[in-house]
Structure 1
């Protein structure tokens, strides 16, 4: 089958690889759509910390945001799964440790991450093998783009839930920031966005959000940092109301520093969001109900042969204004 393979920093392309074989408790999924994420970009450039830490190594098959149809079932999997459309959890814990037993497999020290960590092949391919326990079945009304946006949506659900309050500020109008804003608005909050580029701010305004390069008038009961700016968490702490909530879902390439005295004196609750795992089911339900429609975020859909250019920062010809690029692995 065809898959997108990264061989080293800036070295990637479509390759013929062996068909995946489902292990015990696994299924093979025909990938319908996959998303390109900032994490994928970091592996393409070589900047991803997992490479330095030894959690990942080249060659890599990326792709952790996906949906598709189960086409094969391995030993121990009920055959009724074959033919079902599903999305899958990225985080695959060991299943034995205290964290996994407590329902926090996404924090397991020995976890694999689909398309990211531990050599687990990702979904930028025609087919992918994953544990059946990682699957969430998709309702019939959820199309490919919605399915591929469940994983980032799960992250955003958790950030929106953590950002409780009547008035919320989101720093960073990228995919995760916009999804967080959509889920937070759906929960009834007044949401403002702050960004740096005119195009991203204009797009956020097209979704009905107040969005500026400067700071809107406070107060803010919660501030969400959805940027990759190492100075942003400290700025968010400065902006949030005393007794409010600071939510960190963005990751910078270098350490972010903030003054813990401000955290204490302002009586602020700080929350970190690592993964979509605890939010996947809620994202599926919200999309199915129509509470949140993330499809306007999709700028273009490319084939596997277009992924390298996207990772290198190029916009596909004819791309719309949204920040998200999807991949159809079966597109010629």
Structure 2
């Protein structure tokens, strides 16, 4: 089968590789759609921290935002999974440690991540092997575009929930990329008054197209009490801004990661009695994201600018947008093309 292989920093090629076999407890999925994420870009450029700590290494097969159909079952997998459309959890844990048994498998000390770490092949390929315990079934109302947006949607839903807002509460989301816009969509569906902060007017156009009338630059941001602030950016200075802007006794949610260390003054955190929440992974939000996509309360499809074939993925990772791309921040890959 064909799969995208990263062989070194800045080097990505489509290779013919052995197709996966369904080991006991696993299934094989024919991948219908896969998303390109900022993590994939960092793995491609060599900037990803895991490459420096030894948690990830080249050659590497990326891709952790995906959906597809189960076409083969390993021993011990219930027969009803065969033929089902699915997506899956990126975080593959040991399932036996205290963290796993207490519902925190996404921070398991022995975790492998699909398409990211410990040599686990990813979904930028025609087929993917996945443990059945990681699968989440997709209803017919969730098409391939939405199916491949479940993983980032799970992250964003956790961020929106982490803000702890009551209906009518005012949320400020810093960043208008995929996670920022998804967080805004889920928060709005939950009844929040959502505002977004972008770098400049050009970064706010899609937010306004999605119906977010409260979309600001730093210069135009009004002085309002923010019950919660979500930092979904990659700017090293915005974590401190989030803490500065949030109301006393409010919540700041950190889901974005900068390429260099960020600093906050913990005296502000204490003296404002602020709760800070960190979000790693969408595991606990996957079912909620699927449900919101299925019932139509969140339509994330406008975030996808284009869908291209596997051969064009290297260019996408290098920062090239397809000529016919729309305004969305996300590029999808159809490995069957």
TM-score, scaled relative to structure 1: 0.98
Equivalence for 1:242: 248
1:206 aligns with 2:206: no
Deviation at 1:317, TM superposition (A): 1.2
Deviant stretches of 4+, over 6 Å: none
Q: Distance in 2 between matches of 1:328 and 1:159?
A: 28
Q: Distance in 1 between matches of 2:315 and 2:16?
A: 19
CA 1:91–1:230 in 2, change beyond 3 Å: closer, same or farther? Answer: same
Q: Distance in 2 between matches of 1:8 and 1:212?
A: 39
Equivalence for 2:88: 88
How do 1:270-281 and structure 2 match up within 5 A? 270-281=276-287
Q: Distance in 1 between matches of 2:57 and 2:22?
A: 23
Equivalence for 1:16: 16
Q: Distance in 1 between matches of 2:86 and 2:121?
A: 17
Deviating more after overlay: 199-208 vs 31-40: 199-208
RMSD of aligned residue pairs (Cα, Å): 0.8
Does the CA contact (< 8 Å) of 1:233 and 1:256 recur in 2?
Answer: yes
How do 1:103-122 and structure 2 match up within 5 A? 103-122=103-122
Residue 292 of structure 1 aligns to a residue whose secondary structure is coil
Deviation at 1:231, TM superposition (A): 1.3
Q: Give structure 1 stretches of 5+ with no counterpart.
A: none
Equivalence for 2:319: 313
Equivalence for 1:77: 77
Equivalence for 1:288: 294
Q: Distance in 2 between matches of 1:216 and 1:70?
A: 49
Q: Distance in 1 between matches of 2:126 and 2:325?
A: 23
How do 1:222-261 and structure 2 match up within 5 A? 222-261=228-267
Q: Deviations over 1:36-81 (max 9, x none)?
A: 0000000010000000010000011000000000000001111221
Equivalence for 1:185: 188
Q: Distance in 2 between matches of 1:217 and 1:295?
A: 32
TM-score, scaled relative to structure 2: 0.97
Equivalence for 1:124: 124
CA 1:312–1:197 in 2, change beyond 3 Å: closer, same or farther? Answer: farther
Residue 241 of structure 1 aligns to a residue whose secondary structure is strand
Does the CA contact (< 8 Å) of 1:192 and 1:216 recur in 2?
Answer: no
Deviation at 1:216, TM superposition (A): 2.7
Deviation at 1:198, TM superposition (A): 3.1
Q: How many residues align?
A: 331
Q: Distance in 2 between matches of 1:221 and 1:27?
A: 44
Deviation at 1:199, TM superposition (A): 2.6
Equivalence for 1:50: 50
Q: Distance in 2 between matches of 1:125 and 1:295?
A: 22
